[in-house]
Structure formats: structure tokens, C-alpha cells
């Protein structure tokens, strides 16, 4: 079992729709969770971080965390073609700066 | 603030050679982590340095090494290069590397081993 798992996609949604990206993790000691976006040929850029159970909203993005189910998700409302990228889920435990990444979900937003 | 910078951006080496990559963190950040990204394995953690000490290490062979200087700049070295070392090498910095600290990535160094 991989430590952090994501659906590889590609996930295709029409412009204006809600995109839902999911991630599960295996280490119950994980303490913080991050969503990064990576455009082709570029480096990852942070979208959201979440540490407590529940929802966290930032503009069109909502991160959801359920530690009991070891599940974290990212919702993108009013999806735009510019949101087309690979979305990486990353999990951090108590080992300092070590981030464990999922394989990423490729999102395609069609005009 | 200036972001994380990495040099060089592109490198082409041949098998058996060694290579040194450099990373300058965001000003004030003391933790630097290195990652390798390949299409097959994704993003994998190499190691983390904090206050000139290696604090964490991933599952990579000893050919991969690093260091951090007193100004928090970091270098990683790969000796005896193999074809499989071709990858995007990413450096990320954070304030102190704690569990709530966010890591910010540099643009990466694209290494090609021929």
C-alpha cells in the first residue's frame, strides 16, 4: 500500500463545474496536509494547507480533512481552463520537513 | 521576498560523472528539503537540512548526499551518475521545518544523464 494515494486521472470537467480531487494516506500519525498544483514543466506551488478535521476555504478552493477516515480532498468551484494542471497531495508527519507526495491527479478543464 | 532559487536550471551529464546542484532558500528560512521527481516514481523525498545538519533522509543510495551552509544555502551532490538519475531535482524551503510549516519550491534543476 502506498503511503499517499490519489486517483491518477485524468479528471475532466467542463468550465464552471466543481472539480473534486481525493487523497488517502496510511500513516495515522500524519499531522499536516497540503495540496500543490503543478503545471507541466513547472515546479509545485502551494494551494492549500490543512491541519484540523473539517473544511478550510480559500477563494474557489476548499480543502476537507477527515483524520478518522485518513482522507483529504480538494474541491475547486467554478473551474477554469487555467486550473488544468496536476494536483499533488502531500502529507507530513512528525519527521521535520519530510513531505510524502501522492502520484498526483491530472485535471483538465474543458472550455 | 525573493523565492527559492536553484542553479543550474539544466544539466547534461554522462554516466559515471558527478554533479552538484545548488539551492538558495527564501530569506529567513532555515530548513531546506530536496526531492527527486520522475514520471514513474513521482516526487520522492531525498533529505532535509536544518541549521547545517541533516535532519531527515529518504530511501536513496549513498551516492546522493547534501550539505547546508551557515547562510542556509544548500547543495546536493550525486556521484557516479546512472541513467536512472535523470530527473527534475526540486529544492523546497520552509521557516523551521515544523509540521505546520509550508514548503515553497524552487524552479528545479533538470538533470539528464546520457
CA atoms within a 13 Å half-sphere pointing along the CA-CB vector of B56: 22
All three cell numbers of B15: 554516466
pLDDT surpassing 70 at residue B97:
no
Interface test with A, best of B30, B99, B102 (most A CBs within 10 A): B99
Spell out which residues of chain A touch residue B31, defining contact as CB-CB under 8 Å. 96-97
pLDDT value of position B113: 98
A70 shares contact with chain B (CB less than 8 Å): no
- pLDDT tens-digit map of A61-71: 999 999 999 99
To the nearest whole Å, the CA of A40 is away from the closest chain B CA by 12
Length of chain B: 114
pLDDT, tens digit, 9 for 90 and up, residues B67-80: 999 999 999 999 99
Per-residue pLDDT of chain A (111 residues; tens, 9 = 90+): 679 999 878 999 999 999 999 999 999 888 899 999 999 999 999 999 999 999 999 999 999 999 999 999 999 999 999 999 999 999 997 777 789 999 999 999 999
Nearest residue in chain B measured CA to CA from A30: B99
Q: Which residues of B touch A31 (CB under 8 A)?
A: 99
In the structure grid, which three cell numbers stand for residue A10, read together?
A: 485524468
Q: Residue B2 CB: number of other CB atoms within 10 A?
A: 8
Q: How many CA atoms lie within 13 A of A28 on its CB side?
A: 2
Q: What is the mean pLDDT of residues B26-45?
A: 95
- Substitution target from A23, A38, A90, A97 for chain B, most B beta carbons within 10 A: A97
- Rounded Cα gap, residues A35 and A57, in angstroms: 13
Point out the residue among A45, A49, A88 whose CB comes nearest to the CB of B43: A88
Q: Report strand pairing: A105-110 vs A11-14.
A: parallel
Check residue A7 and give its pLDDT.
85
Q: By C-alpha distance, which of B103, B105, B102 is closest to B90? A: B105
CA distance B3 to B91: 11
Strand ranges in chain A using DSSP code E only, listed in sequence order: 4-6, 11-14, 19-25, 32-38, 45-50, 54-58, 61-66, 71-76, 85-92, 99-101, 105-110
User: What is the per-residue pLDDT for B2?
Assistant: 81
Among partner residues A32, A46, A102, which is closest to B104 by beta-carbon distance? A46
Give pLDDT, residue B72.
96
CA A33 – CA A90 distance, rounded (Å): 6
Cβ contact B100:A32 at 8 Å:
yes
CB-based contact, A54 to chain B, within 8 Å: no
Lowest pLDDT segment from A72-76, B55-59, B106-110: B55-59
What pLDDT shows up at residue A1? 67
- Among candidate residues B109, B114, B92, the one with its CA nearest the CA of residue B20: B109
Greater confidence (B9 vs A94) lies with: B9
Quote the CA–CA distance of A94 and B112 in Å, as a whole number: 34
Residue of A43, A47, A52, A106 to mutate for B, most B C-beta atoms under 10 A: A43
Task: Indicate yes or no: CB of A94 within 8 angstroms of CB of B99.
Answer: yes
User: How many cross-chain Cβ pairs, A to B, lie less than 8 Å apart?
Assistant: 67
In this structure, the number of other CB atoms found within 10 A of the CB of residue B5 comes to 16
A40 touches chain B (CB under 8 A): no
* b/e A32-55 (16+ beta carbons within 10 angstroms → b): bbbbbbbeeeebbeebbbbeeeee
Amino acid at each position: 500500500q502506498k503511503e499517499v494515494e490519489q486517483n491518477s486521472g485524468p479528471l475532466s470537467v467542463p468550465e464552471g463545474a466543481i472539480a473534486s480531487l481525493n487523497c488517502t494516506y496510511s500513516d495515522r500519525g500524519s499531522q499536516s496536509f497540503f495540496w500543490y498544483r503543478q503545471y507541466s514543466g513547472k515546479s509545485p506551488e502551494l494551494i492549500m494547507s490543512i491541519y484540523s478535521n473539517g473544511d478550510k476555504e480559500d477563494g474557489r478552493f476548499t480543502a476537507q480533512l477527515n483524520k478518522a477516515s485518513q482522507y483529504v480532498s480538494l474541491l475547486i468551484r467554478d473551474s477554469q481552463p487555467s486550473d488544468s494542471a496536476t494536483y499533488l497531495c502531500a502529507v507530513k508527519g512528525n519527521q521535520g520537513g519530510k513531505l510524502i507526495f501522492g502520484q498526483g491527479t491530472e485535471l483538465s478543464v474543458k472550455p | 521576498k525573493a523565492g527559492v532559487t536553484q542553479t543550474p536550471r539544466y544539466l547534461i551529464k554522462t554516466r559515471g560523472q558527478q554533479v552538484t546542484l545548488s539551492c538558495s532558500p527564501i530569506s529567513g528560512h532555515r530548513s531546506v528539503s530536496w526531492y527527486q521527481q520522475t514520471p514513474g516514481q513521482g516526487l520522492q523525498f531525498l533529505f532535509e537540512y536544518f541549521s547545517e545538519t541533516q535532519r531527515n533522509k529518504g530511501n536513496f543510495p549513498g551516492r546522493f548526499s547534501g550539505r547546508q551552509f551557515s547562510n542556509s544555502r544548500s547543495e546536493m551532490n550525486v556521484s557516479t551518475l546512472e541513467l536512472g538519475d535523470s530527473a527534475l531535482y526540486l529544492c523546497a524551503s520552509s521557516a523551521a521545518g515544523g509540521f505546520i510549516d509550508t514548503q515553497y519550491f524552487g524552479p528545479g534543476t533538470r538533470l539528464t544523464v546520457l
